[in-house]
Amino acid sequence: MITNTELEYKGNLYPDQIVDFNQDSDKFYFTTDNGVILEVTVIRNSTIRFRYATDHVMEPDFSYAISPDAPRGYKDLKAEETDTEYLISTAKVKILVDKKSLRVQISDLEGNIINEDELGFHYEENYTYGGNSVKMSKITQSGESFYGMGDKATHFNLKGKRVHNWVTDQYAFGKDQDPLYKAVPFYIGLHQNKAYGIFFDNTFKTHFDFAHERRNVTSFWAEGGEMNYYFFYGPDISRVVRSYTDLTGTPELPPLWALGYHQSKWSYFPESRVKQIASKFRKLKIPCDAIYLDIDYMDGFRCFTWDKTKFPDPKRMINELNEDGFKTVVMIDPGIKVDRDYWVYQEAIKNDYFCKRGDGPLMSGKVWPGQCNFPDYTNPKVREWWAGLYKELMSEVGAHAVWNDMNEPAVMEVPTKTAPLDTRHDFDGHPCSHRKAHNIYGMQMVRATYEGVKKYVYPKRPFVITRAAYSGTQRFASTWTGDNVATWEHLWIANVQVQRMCMSGMSFVGTDIGGFAEQPNGELFARWIQLGIFHPFCRVHSSGDHGDQEPWSFDKEVTDIVRKFIELRYQLLPYLYTSFYKYYKDSVPMIKPLVYHDQEDHQTHFRTDEFIFGDQILVCPVQEPNAKGRRMYIPRGRWFNYWTNETLEGGSEKWVDADIDKIPIFIKEGAIIPKYPVQQYVGELTIEELQLDVYYINGTENSMVYEDAQDGYDYTKGEYSLRNFKLTGKDKELILQQFKDGNYITSYETFKLNLMGLPFKIKSIKLDNETISLKDVKMNGGNTLHVTKDFTTLHIMGK
């Protein structure tokens, strides 16, 4: 018998009218006639969660992205009903839910629309895999811009773009190529000087269209799972970014050496070559804190082993490097070689820790060791086992940190570059296929690595790096942007990627300085170093297939320039560490794009090159060959040229001289920039005096310096030094007030104050209301003072 098999409901399905509503504390439930449920949860006054279900069934509520320490709390929550809609109000926003269509509109308390559904939630049954493809479309507001989305090698403003999230090993990726190594489904919208954010917490392959297909519509959708998104209201971009980062978490403070300069290559071996590299850094007096060992340190690329021919006594070597100030960072990949004589493989087989295909056999694929099986890091037992594998490497051999690579997971010689989609995962008790687990596989690997490293380097702090990531991975690891290329275009990409990552909650980020693939010339390498020393993670790394890429690999001029800028990074370590403290404590990104810095200035909305390092240093890399300078946008306000101390009024584009030995660097007026003396590695010197570069302002500016023991956990028990400075400048006086917190006693007793841009000659000085002799502050005829670190008020009066 032949029948018509056309599916009646094939295509998009939409919610019907609401037939039921109820409230349970901070949760509101709306049920439609055709079984769609909308759950609205008020997390905070300006953070609202929207979660949709079909067929009257909510899935188990589980997320890897959300931090267990995410703050909650609200006030003035109320709900009311009209003939046409439901209204939920908090102290910050109003949420309208339409009774006929379930569409949502969000406005501020004055009634200004912030975000509103176009078609809103809709879905389509996935007849290939089961479940639904879930979709959301929003109205694009007039003049709206879009930012965020993590690791995207495209223009910083995403207006008119379509991007995708499916973590992918993308060797030598190009501009606008997508997807890449990370999935961060979070974006920021900005219109009428009001900002909001949306985090689509769905680990399936996701897609975002920012008015690309239709100029008045922004949409996002996933190939499975739930429509589950969080809405954050600003109205400042800074508030949106901080709210998202609060939700997904921040890392603990790293050891200070992790913020130094690091040198890597695929690969440094044997031991004699590693020692040669280390020796040359010290001989040439180029500061360096870490040397990396890529996969060639292993025995046949077997993780947690050593090639005893290349490295006959790794414990001795690591100890000797450490005595000369070098930490050793080793790579660990997820692929475990199929080898029945290999102890890691034996343990995993015995305990059933490897991923399996849908019909039962082990998932296998070719990686560097050859045929490999892959641990299921979504299983808590596997993560605990994996963490334990680091005991010998960290506790006994003495490695200082671990670098997880290839953890997308990358699989060679298959078109998809990764595990088959029918691969099964535990997903912490919510069994699923690789379609759902792929984007968080690397995150769960590095989570297990973090737990192991943290356990076995204790009482010191862990330092872990990952290539693959999903939202929330920043709680466990730093990251870099993957296998880039030694080209000028990639220098531009590196700048944009790091700014975007910092806007997306992942501030501990950097790039392979100089490019991983191919070989930079000396000029490109110098220009890349000049950018890279301002990135929170600062590492040179290259494939080694195209030549050497150490600071001395080019000519003497380049070597001297590289040394000069690496020395600048070491001088700025207390400033960088303070920025990390603000990130850790208050979710403030360590690098701020200009639109973050001043969203009300529409000239910032499409800038890609300039950024704010920390809170008070403006940086603009030179990204073209043969340049003697460049035009750049100076944000509103008054800025000091770092090299000349000349001042500029911002709010317009300027030509700035920047020959090969300089890049444009400007300091915000009123800033106090702390500096250490140049060290060859963190801890080489006892800091005997903290230098404070004080930039005059006619007005008021606040600055901060955070310090602690630079490692260990005493800072969590009050053993830190936090100095808040308030600088007030007038025509003929400058007042510096200090407010101290914490119990840590620094090694130095005095500040060296370099007073920049004073419009008057110093006549007298009062320290805590006592007039002191100019001789006592060792002025020596200039605007340099030496004062005790524990003053409360320093009052400088002019003639």
Between the alpha carbon of residue 668 and those of residues 210, 254, 308, 577, 603, the distances in Å are 34, 27, 53, 19, 18
Would you state the pLDDT for residue 312?
Answer: 98
Burial class of residue 69, CB neighbours in 10 A (0-12, 13-18, 19+): exposed
* The one catalytic residue among 178, 201, 483, 707: 483
* pLDDT, mean over the chain: 97
Q: Which string of DSSP letters, residue by residue, matches 715-771? A: GGGT--EEEEEEEEEETTEEEEEEEEE-S---S--EEEEEEES-SS-EEEEEETTEE
Lowest-confidence region among 7-21, 367-381, 582-596, 642-656: 7-21
- Using the structure block, give the residue that is written with the tokens 């690397």: 442
The per-residue pLDDT for range 258-281, each reduced to its tens digit, is: 999 999 999 999 999 999 999 999
Q: Looking at the chain, how many residues does it have?
A: 799
Spatial strand order in the sheet of 206-210: 78-81, 85-89, 93-98, 104-108, 113-125, 132-139, 217-222, 206-210, 162-165
Best CA proximity match to 260, nearest among 535, 554, 507, 461: 535
User: Given a cut of 70, is residue 496 above it in pLDDT?
Assistant: yes
* The one catalytic residue among 201, 226, 405, 512: 405
Alpha helix segments (H runs only) across 139-236:
none
Would you state the pLDDT for residue 691?
Answer: 98
Please indicate whether residue 33 is annotated as part of the active site.
Answer: no
Would you state the pLDDT for residue 5?
Answer: 43
**CB-facing half-sphere around the CA of 236: CA atoms within 13 A:** 9
Contact criterion met (CB below 8 Å) for 194 and 92: no
Would you state the pLDDT for residue 2?
Answer: 43
* The one catalytic residue among 246, 376, 408, 615: 408
* pLDDT confidence band for 6 (50 / 70 / 90): very low
Find the mean pLDDT for residues 654-675. Answer: 98
Give every CB contact of residue 82 below 8 A, 6+ residues apart in sequence: none
The per-residue pLDDT for range 701-752, each reduced to its tens digit, is: 999 999 999 999 999 999 999 999 999 999 999 999 999 999 999 999 999 9
pTM over 0.85: yes
Contact criterion met (CB below 8 Å) for 620 and 663: yes
Best CA proximity match to 498, nearest among 479, 516, 485: 479
User: Given a cut of 90, is residue 676 above it in pLDDT?
Assistant: yes
**CB-facing half-sphere around the CA of 211: CA atoms within 13 A:** 16
Element (H, E) at 656: strand 652-657
Contact criterion met (CB below 8 Å) for 520 and 176: no
Find the mean pLDDT for residues 285-297. Answer: 98
* pLDDT confidence band for 7 (50 / 70 / 90): very low
The per-residue pLDDT for range 156-178, each reduced to its tens digit, is: 999 999 999 999 999 999 999 99
Find the mean pLDDT for residues 762-784. Answer: 89
C-beta neighbour count of 568 within 10 angstroms: 16
Please indicate whether residue 236 is annotated as part of the active site.
Answer: no
- In DSSP terms, 592 is beta-bridged to 612
Give the E-state strand segments of 102-205 in sequence order: 104-108, 113-125, 132-139, 145-148, 162-165, 182-183, 186-191, 194-200
Reduce the DSSP state of residue 173 to 3 states and report it: coil
The per-residue pLDDT for range 517-575, each reduced to its tens digit, is: 999 999 999 999 999 999 999 999 999 888 899 999 999 999 999 999 999 999 999 99
Find the mean pLDDT for residues 133-153. Answer: 98
Would you state the pLDDT for residue 775?
Answer: 87
Q: Which string of DSSP letters, residue by residue, matches 19-54? A: EEEEEETTEEEEEETTS-EEEEEEEETTEEEEEEEB
Rg of the chain (C-alpha set): 28
- In DSSP terms, 89 is beta-bridged to 78, 94
The per-residue pLDDT for range 78-122, each reduced to its tens digit, is: 999 999 999 999 999 999 999 999 999 999 999 999 999 999 999
C-beta neighbour count of 685 within 10 angstroms: 13
Would you state the pLDDT for residue 778?
Answer: 83
| Cis peptide bond prior to 267, omega within 30° of 0 | yes
Q: Residue 697 is which amino acid?
A: I
Please indicate whether residue 790 is annotated as part of the active site.
Answer: no
Contact criterion met (CB below 8 Å) for 540 and 550: yes
Give every CB contact of residue 157 below 8 A, 6+ residues apart in sequence: 145, 146, 147, 595, 605, 606, 608
The CA distance from 558 to 547, in Å, is 16
Reduce the DSSP state of residue 788 to 3 states and report it: strand
* pLDDT confidence band for 136 (50 / 70 / 90): very high
C-beta neighbour count of 288 within 10 angstroms: 25
Would you state the pLDDT for residue 512?
Answer: 98
Best CA proximity match to 31, nearest among 20, 39, 40: 20
* pLDDT confidence band for 780 (50 / 70 / 90): low
**CB-facing half-sphere around the CA of 311: CA atoms within 13 A:** 23
